[in-house]
Amino acid sequence: GAGVSQTPSNKVTEKGKYVELRCDPISGHTALYWYRQSLGQGPEFLIYFQGTGAADDSGLPNDRFFAVRPEGSVSTLKIQRTERGDSAVYLCASSLNRGNEQYFGPGTRLTVT
Amino acid sequence: GNSVTQMEGPVTLSEEAFLTINCTYTATGYPSLFWYVQYPGEGLQLLLKATKADDKGSNKGFEATYRKETTSFHLEKGSVQVSDSAVYFCALRENQGGKLIFGQGTELSVKP
C-alpha cells in the first residue's frame, strides 16, 4: 500500500515568507508526527497528533510554527516569518496508534534564503 | 531530559568486517529502544527494536541488546556488505509516550 507522502519535496523561500508543508499519512493511521532534521543531526520532534488533536506540541521551537490536522488524516505544518535557521528537512511519520511503529515519509527539504 | 548519544562517524569498513556502533541513552522509566537506518536517497526505516531490558532486537543480520545496567543499545553486525552503507540512528521512545528521541546519527561506508 501507499506509504507516507510529503509535499513539496523541496521548497525554497525567502526570509520572512510564510510556508506550508503537507503530510499524507498511511490510511487508517491515527497518530501523526512531525520532526525536523538539520544537516548532520538526528531528527528532532516537533509535534504529535492523535486524531485531530495535538497531543504533544512540546517540540515546536516558537510561535512561528503551527500545525493542523483538521480531519484526522492530512496534516499541514505552517511556518510564519521564516528565518534562515528554519532551513532543514521536515519529516512526517505516522503510526497505527500511539506506541506502534512509526513510518516515515521522504521529507520536505526547506531552504530559507 | 531524555537523550541518546551515538558514536561519531563516519565509520569506514571493508566488506565482511565486524561492525559495532555504540549507543547510550539517558531516560527516566523504561523506554523502548530503536535503530533506524537511512539509505542514500531514501527515507528513515526501522531496522530493529527492543522494548524491555535484556531484549535483543535483530534484523538483516544486525543485532542490538537492551542493556539497562549500562544504559546502552549498541548495534552489531558480524559481516557488513557494501549495501549496508547508510546512516544509522539510535532512538528511544519514552514509556507510554509517542515521540521518538534520536541520536545524531552515524554514517557507515563499506568498501568492497
Q: Which three cell numbers stand for residue A109?
A: 527539504
Question: Is any Cβ of chain B less than 8 angstroms from the Cβ of A104?
Answer: yes
- Amino acid (one-letter) located at A30: T
Q: Which three cell numbers stand for residue B56?
A: 535483543
Q: Which of B43, B98, B102 sits opposite A106 (nearest CB)?
A: B43
Q: Which sign, positive or negative, has the C-alpha torsion B40, B99, A41, B6?
A: negative
Question: Is any Cβ of chain B less than 8 angstroms from the Cβ of A95?
Answer: yes
> Is residue B29 predicted with pLDDT exceeding 90?
no
Q: Mean pLDDT per segment of 10 residues, for chain A of length 113 residues?
A: 91 98 96 95 96 94 97 97 98 92 95 98
Q: Which of B4, B89, B99 sits opposite A56 (nearest CB)?
A: B99
Q: Given an 8 Å threshold on Cβ–Cβ distance, is B102 in contact with A59?
A: no
On whether the CB atoms of residues B74 and B64 are closer than 8 A, the answer is: yes
If you measure CA to CA, which chain B residue comes closest to A39? B104
Kindly provide the b/e burial profile for residues A7-21, where b requires at least 16 CB atoms within 10 angstroms of the residue's own CB.
eeeebebeeeeebeb
Summarize the confidence of residues B35-50 as an average pLDDT. Answer: 93
Q: Given an 8 Å threshold on Cβ–Cβ distance, is B44 in contact with A99?
A: no
Angle at alpha carbon of residue B46, lines to B42 and B52, rounded to 5°: 165
Give percent of chain B above pLDDT 70.
97
SS3 state at B82: helix
If you measure CA to CA, which chain A residue comes closest to B97? A99
